[in-house]
Structures are given as C-alpha cells and as structure tokens.
Structure 1
Amino acid sequence: MSAPRLLLLSVSAGAGHARAAEALRVAAQAHYGAQALHLDVMDHVTAAFRKLYTDYYLRLVDKYPALWAQLYRITNETPADAPGARLRRGIERLNARDLRKAIAAFAPDIVICTHFLPAELLLRERERGRLDAPVWVQVTDFDLHALWEVPRMAGYFAASDEVAYRMRARGLPAERVHVTGIPIMPAFAEIPDRADCARELGLDPARTTLLLMGGGAGVGALDEAAATLLALDVDFQLIALAGRNAAMLEKLQALAQRHPGRLFPHGYTNRIERLMGAADLAVSKPGGLTTSECLALGLPMIVFAPIPGQEERNCDYLLEHGAALKAVDATALEYRVRELVADPARLAAMRANARRLGTPYAARAVLDRVFARNA
C-alpha cells in the first residue's frame, strides 16, 4: 500500500497557522511515513489579495486594535448565509484559482486546514465534485470564532474541552469534534535542561531569566516593553525575540548596547524551544501557538497587549487555569514582574499549572484520528 498523501493548508496571517501545519507535516513524515506537503494559501492567491489578507491584517491588529475588535465581533455574529458573507467567499474564490491547481497537482488523499480560509474554499470544491479527499479543520486558538464553523468537514480538532463544547453547541456534529490540543513541533515534547539552554545562549544559568516575545511577526512595541523591564531594580537577564521584524531587532540591539550582559536580542528562530527552555518566565502576546508551546514546556506567562478577539480569549484561558498573569499597561507589567521574581513558590505553582495544561503530543493525536479514518 502506498504512503498516504497528506496536504496541509495554512495562511500566513500571523505565524501560528503555518507553525501548526509544519508540526503536522513533520509528525506525519516521521511517524506515519506519509507524503506530506504544506502549502501557504497566500502563495497561491493574487498579489492584491495577499497584501490585503496578510499585511493589512498585521497592520490593523498592531495599529488599530479597537477597529480589529469590532471586525472580529461583527464577523463572529454574521450568519454564514448573509449577503456580506457570501460576497466575501465569492471574492476569496476568485482570488484563489491557482490554489485549486496546486491542490490538483498534488492529488491529496487527506487535507488538514489550520486556517478557516482554505476550509471554506475546499467545502465548495467538494460540493462541486472537484475534490474527493476528506478535509479536516484544526482550530489554532483557545476560542471559537464563527468563521471556523465550516460545515460538512470530515472532522474538527479543538484546543480544549471548552472549544469542543462550543463547536457542538453551534451545531457541528458531536462525533466529528475531537479535543487534541494545538499541534506543536516535536521539540516541545521534552523539557530541555535549563542550564544547558542558558549556556548555549550565552546566559548566566544562575540568574533569573525572562523571555520577551511579540509573535513570529514581531508585532508590538517590544523595545518599549524591554526598556520598561530593564529599568526595574530587579536582578534578571532578558531575552527579547523580535521574530521577522528586522526594524524591531535593530532597536533591541541598540538598547542592548546600553545594557550589556542583561539584554539578549534575537530575530526569527526555528529553535524557540531553546530560548523558552532557558527562561523562568515569558512576557508575551498570547497567540495560540505561542501559548501551546509555553504550556508544553511548563513556562509561566505574563500576558501583555493581547490582540482583541482570539488572543484575549487565549489570555482568559491561561488566567482561568493559573498559568499566567495579565499586564494591562507598563505599570502593571512592572508590578507583575516584581511580584513573581520575588515569589519563587508562586512561580513554581504557575509552572505546574502550565505543564498540566500542555498538550505536547497534539500533532500525533490529530494524525492518529485522521489516518485511522482514512484507513
């Protein structure tokens, strides 16, 4: 019997959807012998549509979060059969014709979507008889927005019991809803030695270490947050991760020159587990993938500047389960850091809560279900 052909479809609106798809691709090849291909839908749409869907989204959530909050609410409350929703899907189809060709060229046996856009597109392809492969949907946040509720999919994977409950409450078939967690890379399955990670990064293993993150795109004023933290009369060293934001990395590097031995800037890395492994506490935006990675490694978080909508819901999940604190502004951030660095017992309790919530083998749980159904 030939190896199954698995297609992973993501959208590069933020880094999380692609990271989930990559985790599934790696696990499928390593543990199931699948022929796995990951496609970013944005590589197969028109340039104008790509700019609108990715660049505009990132600018909106960074510069105009209140406007994004309204759009999030409106789209969540708009019925799928409303004229505006039908128009949106029609525009998406017109701009994604090359995607259909790429899918046909690979001829997948199974498709998993880590974003709702390809799921919506492929629903129509299946209904028109142009795609036989079953399509599965992996939700990548600890929340359920209405756009994820694409009907007649082979199955749906939820980050938590509550997300699964919401799926069933909104009419998705109960037998097709599965709680797996959010897929993350195999490197997060084992908690690395903290001292080894620290020495590898040029850090002092004996000092408290904070990790400041803003997501794969480096959204947010990380340099301002770093400056706020470094002004505290608290002894710690700070790793600052700028992601793919080159301009932000330059700002952080300039700041590091004024704080030698305390601030360690990094750009995009595919070894994030080593940075997390060296840290005692993460100060971060609560993206779905970042949250899942921190939980898998038992890394407590101080959540700051969550994007309205999905990240606020991720934040709520962490707060409810005692794995994070929230900083609503710079003053609150200062207070939270002082509070936790001075209270190792509380930090240890948050670490234990985080590990309890972690799902490091989510990718395997998803693929076990997908390949069993396709056998």
Structure 2
Amino acid sequence: MNKPNPRIMILTAKFGEGHLQASQSLKQSFINQSVQDIRVIDLFQAAHPFFNEVSKKVYLTSMRTPKYGLDYYGWSYYITRYNKLDRPWTKYFNYIGEKKLREIIVQEQPDAIINVFPFGAAPEVAHKLDIPTFTVLTDYALHNRWVHPEMSKYYVATNELKDELVSQGFSQEQIEVTGIPIREAFYHVSPQTNKYGQLLDPAKKTVMIAAGAYGVLDEIKEMVQFLLSQVDCQIAIVCGRNSKLEASLNEDFAAMNHVHIFGFVENIQDLMALSSCIVTKAGGLTLSEALSLALPVFIYKPFGGQEKENALFFLRSGIGKIAGTNQVLEEQLVQFLSDDSIAIEMKKRMQAIRKWHAADHIVQNILQTIASEQPQPVLV
C-alpha cells in the first residue's frame, strides 16, 4: 500500500530542455496517481542565481564553439567522466546547493527526493535525514557525476547503463531499466486527429529537420534542394522559437511546394508520427521521443559530451546514423529514402529497444519504495 499523501521533491536544472521536460513528465504522472504535493525545484537557480545565469550562458555558448575547434564542454565532460567521489572537482560539484537544499528540505519535509540532474548534494544531505533519493538518468551514457553511493535507486534508459552501475558496486535491485520520461502524448498519437495530415502529402516520404534554436545544419538550403532533386520526398523543417531562422527559410523556400516550414510546434509528436525520419541533435529527450515512435534518427555533428555518447549508442544499436558533414548526411538520407529495407530494419530495432510509459513506471516504483520503507503498525 502506498503512503497516503506523500510529499515529493524533484530537483532539476535549466541546462537544455531535457531535464525540465523529464521533470514535468514525472510531475504529471504523480498527479495522475493522485499525488498532489509535488515541488519541482531548480536547485542551481535557488541556491546560486548569479552563478546559475552565468553557467547557462557558458553552456549555451559551448554549443556554438565546436565549429571553431574549441569544444570546451566536450573536453570537460571527458576529463571528468570517470572521476571518483573523492576527487576535488567531484567534491566541489557535490557541495553546490547543499546549504540551500538543507533549508528547502526543512521547509518542505519531503518523503522522497528525485534527481533529474546530477546533484550530488541530494544523496549527501538526504541520507543523513533518512529520506530516500532517486536518480533519473536523462541520457544514454553514464558520467560519474550521476554516481553516488548513498543513492537509493537509479532509473536508466538501457541495460548497458544498468550494467555500468552494477560494475560500480550498486545492486541489481537498485537499478530499474525504465527508459527516459517523455510526455504521455507520445503514446497517444491518433491519425484521425493529426492536423498535419492535411498539410503533408501522404504519398511522399517526409524528412523532418529539427533545426531548433541554433540550427542543425550549416547549409540547410543546399541540402534540401539536393534531396528534392534526388528523391521524391517532402521536407518539414521545425525552427522552434528561432523566429529569425523561420522567416529566413520561409523566404528561401517560398516557391517550393514540398518544403514546409514550422516555428514552435506544440504537438510535435503529431508531426514526428507522419515523418519517415528525423534529422536532429542528440539530446536524450529528443532521441527518446523519436524512439517511442520508432522514427529513424539522423544526427548531424553531435556536440561533445553526453550528446556524442547518446549518438554513439544509437549508432551502435542500429537505430540512428551520425554525419559529420553535409555531404555525408545527404548521402545517408538519399540511401535511406531510396531503400525501404533500411527503414524497416531501423524501425524493427527501435521497437525492440524502446520502453513505453517510463514516467509511470518510475513513479509507481518510487511510491512502492516509499511505502515499503514506512514503519509498519505493531499488531497487539
């Protein structure tokens, strides 16, 4: 039996959209399970607002610098990837937010703390207060910043990640392979209510390009023109909140009937469901969304660090391809669109790997764990 009215604290951070989206998916699942007392807290913002803003700007800048040969985020990721808990750099990151977290815990009195970002302070503090702490890994690769001996339980995307954690001393029971939490809407895509079915030609294969905030291609116009000249297909380009990119592409492709330009798409799962493949960056949440729909993935110039490792997992698993140049990407897409057997095989592999309803599985397991750790009444 679950504990009535448990208080849940979810710790997250605004470094990319993935951590926030996963946090909101978990929150919604708790609400669906009739748990109402949930706090989603950006611990960096709460503890060090100035440092948080500076760090976010540095992080965003790091996404632009690799093209100039300065991949400082990737360097820092790999230099610290296997650091042990007693290393100064690891100790420093584990200390961040500790004082503020103690204050929040005293105020909120949570029954469980969930890490959706690698905050080492959480298990450090919570263990001393007998509060179970859970970590939800939002990537397909492990960095030691996620690893802490006082963690009650881990929820991971793959069996490979589980094996890595077991090799570091965690028991099989401490790790659940659930997949990465995504929005429930991805499991309920309906052709009958899909408005994009009226915009796209159902007779043509569709290449979806998630251009996003920075764009995933250096020469997107040339690539689109090349694809249309080689294969009978249509292109759907999603610019997100980059209105400048959207306006530019609308002007470039105004005369092309088979090129569709979109800004921010609220129901992105509907557009993905009608696509034959997606060209995207390698964020854990985006890849998980594509995986849920068995949508073959083409990753262009993945950023060093977790995105590169995510991309390599998809490549090893036969469910995605990586391109380092526009020419390679064009060749990959033309081959994919010209040979149906490639799509069939990739989709088959994706269907075998994907985990559905990750958020629900995680929430149910956390609630059961909380209930099992409560003192049992003494029968007299």
Q: Quote how far apart the aligned CAs of 1:240 are.
A: 1.8
Q: Note if contact 1:286-1:306 (Cα within 8 Å) is conserved in structure 2.
A: yes
Q: 2:76 aligns with which of 68, 71, 86?
A: 71
> Match of 1:172?
170
CA distance in 2, matches of 1:83, 1:322: 38
Show CA shifts across 1:42-97 (max 9, x none): 4424332112322211211332363222111111133321223323444x237x73
- Alignment of structure 1 residues 334-373 onto 2, 5 Å: 334-373=330-369
Residue range with higher mean Cα deviation, 338-347 or 187-196: 187-196
- Aligned counterpart for 1:50 among listed residues 49, 52, 58: 52
Q: How many residues align?
A: 364
Query: Which consecutive unaligned segments of at least 5 residues does structure 1 have?
Result: none
Q: Which residue of 2 aligns with 1:80?
A: 85
User: Which residue matches 2:22?
Assistant: 20
For residue 310 of structure 1, report the CA deviation from its aligned partner.
1.3
Cα contact 2:44–2:52 (8 A) shared by 1: yes
Q: Per the alignment, do residues 211 and 374 of structure 1 end up closer, same or farther by CA in structure 2, a change over 3 Å counting?
A: same
Query: Counterpart in 2 of 1:208?
Result: 205
Paired residues of 1:136 and 1:156 also in contact (CA < 8 A): yes
Query: 1:64-143 residue pairs with structure 2 within 5 A?
Result: 64=66, 66-90=71-95, 92-93=96-97, 97=100, 100-117=102-119, 120-127=120-127, 129=129, 132-143=130-141
1:199 to 192, 197, 200: 197
Match of 1:281 in 2: 277
C-alpha distance in 2 between matches for 1:182 and 1:135? 18
Of 226, 231, 245 in structure 2, the residue corresponding to residue 231 of structure 1 is 226
**C-alpha separation in 2, matches of 1:101 and 1:250:** 47
Counterparts of 1:204 and 1:105, CA distance in 2: 55
Counterpart for residue 378 of structure 2 = none
Query: In the alignment, which residue of structure 2 is the partner of 1:263?
Result: 260
Describe the superposition over 1:100-138 as per-residue Cα deviations: whole angstroms up to 9, x where unpaired: 544544332222111102xx1222322554xx4311001
Q: Determine the C-alpha separation between the residues in 1 that align with 2:247 and 2:148.
A: 42
Distance 1:230 1:355, change over 3 A: farther
CA distance in 1, matches of 2:203, 2:103: 55
Q: Structure 2 CA distance, aligned partners of 1:355 and 1:230?
A: 32
CA distance in 2, matches of 1:44, 1:246: 31
Q: Which runs of 5+ in 2 are unaligned?
A: 372-380
Aligned-pair distance for 1:347? Answer: 1.2
Cα distance change, pair 152–339 in 1 and its aligned pair in 2 (3 A): same
**TM-score, with structure 1 as normaliser:** 0.88
Map of 2:10 onto structure 1? 8
* 3-state SS in 2 of match to 1:115: coil
In the alignment, the residues of structure 1 paired with residue 140 and residue 63 of structure 2 have an alpha-carbon distance, to the nearest angstrom, of 18
Deviations 1:246-276 (A, max 9, x none): 4433433333435354132222x44221121
1:93 partner amino acid: G
**Mapping of residues 301-316 of structure 1, within 5 Å:** 301-316=297-312
Change (3 A) 1:355 1:152: same
1:155 to 153, 156, 174: 153
Q: TM-score of the superposition, structure 2-length normalised?
A: 0.87
- Match of 2:63, SS state, is helix
Q: Supply the AA of the counterpart residue of 2:357.
A: Y
Which whole-Å CA distance do the structure 2 matches of 1:224 and 1:112 have between them? 41
Deviation at 1:10? 1.4
Structure 1 or 2, whichever has the larger Rg, is 2
Q: Is the 8 A contact 1:223 1:248 kept in 2?
A: no
Letter in 1 for 2:126: R
CA distance in structure 2 between the aligned counterparts of 1:273 and 1:348, rounded to whole angstroms: 20
Aligned residue among 57, 62, 65 for 2:64? 62
Conservation of the 8 A alpha-carbon contact between 2:279 and 2:298: yes
Runs (4+) of structure 1 exceeding 6 A deviation are: none
Equivalent residues of 1:301, 1:324 under 8 A apart: yes
Contact in 2 for aligned 1:180/1:359 (Cα 8 Å)? yes
Contact 1:21–1:38 under 8 Å retained in 2: yes
Root-mean-square deviation over aligned CA pairs: 2.4
Asked if the contact 2:74/2:304 (under 8 Å) is kept, the reply is yes
Distance (Å, rounded) in 1 between the aligned partners of 2:5 and 2:259: 50
Contact (CA 8 Å) 1:142, 1:163: kept in 2 or not?
Answer: yes
